[in-house]
């Protein structure tokens, strides 16, 4: 082989190798919801800009959680990017399972991420996942029914007012329930709601020494208030209602009020799906005057599992998907009401987005939740509607099953709290916390 041929061959090989390194195929595990599906539809923009292609593995939330947890714990390497939440991120970051997102470009403007989101997705001050969208919870209520009841919703109502309003709006003859709330067992379903609610009653999961607190008065007050209000004004069978069941009831005009994820606002105000789209008002989640509202904080975020061979391309994707430009891209294609909310401060300064009816209340709700100090009394954990420790999901699922049994009339509040206290302390002892 002549020197010239050898040089040509070497150049060709280099180009092929370089080309391969430049154009990666990223496998991304994600959850099935409107914002994520919109992102999948816009992926071509990322490919056009970077040359990288993307393959999506879309799964139902609980399946996704199990799937990515198994993969990252076993270092399976099935995914280059994972969609995870505020619960997983600090735990996995502490375990060293995620790539730190501490070298994002200046253009990305990491300081624009809402502080509450950045805080919840960090460990020891290092960001491990970039929020794709964030949410809190708030009150969505029927303005016409509230008016008919002769009441006016305050911006930040108390639980007493909500109970009174729910009773006034309830019209059993016309199948209208004053209030619809989650009662379904599961730490991310009814468990998330009752935990956020308990924060506003001054309750907490653990004291500073990781002792369970279900034997305290605030928990008894929370559960009795919830069960009492729901039996007066809630829908039949509320013990098995989750987000979708309540969304369906509200959209059909069968709920006076619904306290749930802020992301639901875009569904209930969409005239294509909701019969009450033009009669919905918003307010902060209720409180009892103790300084904490009953709203939670959550984000679906994109993270890179440690050990991926495509870290650089994965970071490029995360920068693209969680950027200000991406928000503009969605607005151009789908309208401002459909942009991913709750992640960036600049979105709420944008006059186009300020015109969206639920934008300000979503921001206010997010800003009023503090995952570092979620309760009235101090706690040793981070997280508003959860405690960011690996054992929480299992324990909270069992506890919420006990609570759902109360809602279904199968046991008393005292019995449920006694069982919750015992099983939580047992689990924490077995895990070495106590």
Size of the site for other proteins (CB under 8 A): 43
Q: Is 75 in the site for other proteins (CB under 8 A)?
A: yes
Stretch binding other proteins (CB under 8 A), from 201-209, 245-253, 328-336, 417-425: 245-253
Instruction: Give the one residue of 74, 125, 236, 351 binding other proteins; rule: CB under 8 A.
Output: 74
Q: Is 390 in the site for other proteins (CB under 8 A)?
A: no
Minimal distance, residue 349 CB to other proteins, in Å: 27
Instruction: Give the one residue of 44, 62, 126, 309 binding other proteins; rule: CB under 8 A.
Output: 62
Q: Is 66 in the site for other proteins (CB under 8 A)?
A: yes
Minimal distance, residue 340 CB to other proteins, in Å: 14
Stretch binding other proteins (CB under 8 A), from 1-9, 71-79, 152-160, 304-312: 71-79
Stretch binding other proteins (CB under 8 A), from 27-35, 316-324, 336-344, 374-382: 27-35
Q: Is 37 in the site for other proteins (CB under 8 A)?
A: yes
Instruction: Give the one residue of 15, 63, 355, 430 binding other proteins; rule: CB under 8 A.
Output: 63
Binding mask 79-98 for other proteins (x = CB under 8 A): x-------------------
Q: Which residue, 28 or 118, is less far from other proteins as judged by CB?
A: 28
DSSP β-bridge partners for residue 281: 141
Q: Is 335 in the site for other proteins (CB under 8 A)?
A: no
- Which residues are near other proteins by CB under 8 A? 27, 29, 31-34, 37, 40, 55, 57-63, 66-67, 70-71, 73-79, 188-189, 242-244, 247-248, 251-252, 254, 261, 263-264, 267, 272-273
């Amino acid at each position: 082989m002549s020197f010239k041929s050898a040089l040509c061959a070497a150049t060709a090989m280099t180009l092929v190798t370089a080309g391969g390194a430049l154009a990666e195929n990223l496998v991304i595990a994600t959850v099935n919801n409107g914002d994520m599906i919109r992102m999948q539809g816009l992926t071509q923009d990322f490919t056009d800009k970077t040359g990288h292609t993307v393959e999506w593995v879309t799964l139902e939330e609980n399946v996704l959680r199990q799937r990515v947890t198994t993969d990252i714990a076993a270092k399976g390497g099935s995914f280059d990017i994972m969609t995870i939440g505020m619960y997983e991120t600090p735990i996995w970051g502490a375990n060293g399972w995620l790539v730190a997102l501490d070298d994002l470009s200046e253009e990305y403007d990491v300081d624009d991420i809402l502080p509450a989101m950045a805080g919840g997705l960090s460990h020891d001050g290092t960001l491990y996942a970039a929020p794709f969208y964030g949410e809190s919870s708030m009150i969505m209520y029927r303005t016409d029914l509230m008016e008919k009841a002769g009441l006016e919703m305050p911006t930040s109502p108390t639980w007493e007012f909500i109970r009174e309003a729910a009773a006034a709006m309830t019209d059993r003859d016309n199948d209208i329930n004053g209030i619809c709330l989650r009662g379904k067992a599961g730490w991310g379903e009814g468990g998330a709601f009752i935990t956020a609610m308990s924060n506003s009653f001054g309750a907490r999961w653990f004291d500073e020494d990781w002792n369970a607190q279900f034997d305290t008065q605030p928990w008894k007050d929370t559960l009795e208030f919830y069960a009492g209000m729901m039996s007066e004004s809630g829908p039949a069978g509320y013990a098995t209602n989750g987000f979708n069941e309540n969304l369906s009831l509200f959209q059909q005009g069968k709920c006076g009020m619904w306290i749930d994820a802020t992301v639901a606002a875009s569904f209930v105000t969409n005239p294509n799906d909701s019969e009450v789209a033009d009669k919905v008002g918003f307010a902060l989640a209720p409180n009892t005057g103790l300084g904490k509202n009953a709203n939670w904080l959550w984000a679906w975020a994109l993270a890179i599992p440690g050990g991926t061979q495509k870290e650089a391309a994965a970071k490029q994707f995360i920068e693209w998907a969680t950027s200000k430009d991406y928000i503009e891209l969605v607005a151009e294609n789908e309208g401002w009401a459909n942009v991913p909310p709750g992640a960036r401060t600049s979105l709420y300064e944008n006059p186009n987005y300020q015109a969206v009816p639920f934008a300000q209340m979503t921001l206010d709700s997010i800003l009023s939740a503090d995952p570092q100090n979620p309760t009235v009394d101090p706690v040793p954990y981070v997280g508003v509607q959860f405690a960011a420790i690996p054992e929480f999901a299992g324990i909270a699922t069992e506890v919420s099953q006990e609570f759902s049994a109360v809602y279904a009339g199968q046991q008393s509040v005292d019995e449920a709290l006694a069982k919750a206290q015992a099983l939580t302390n047992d689990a924490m002892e077995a895990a070495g916390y106590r």
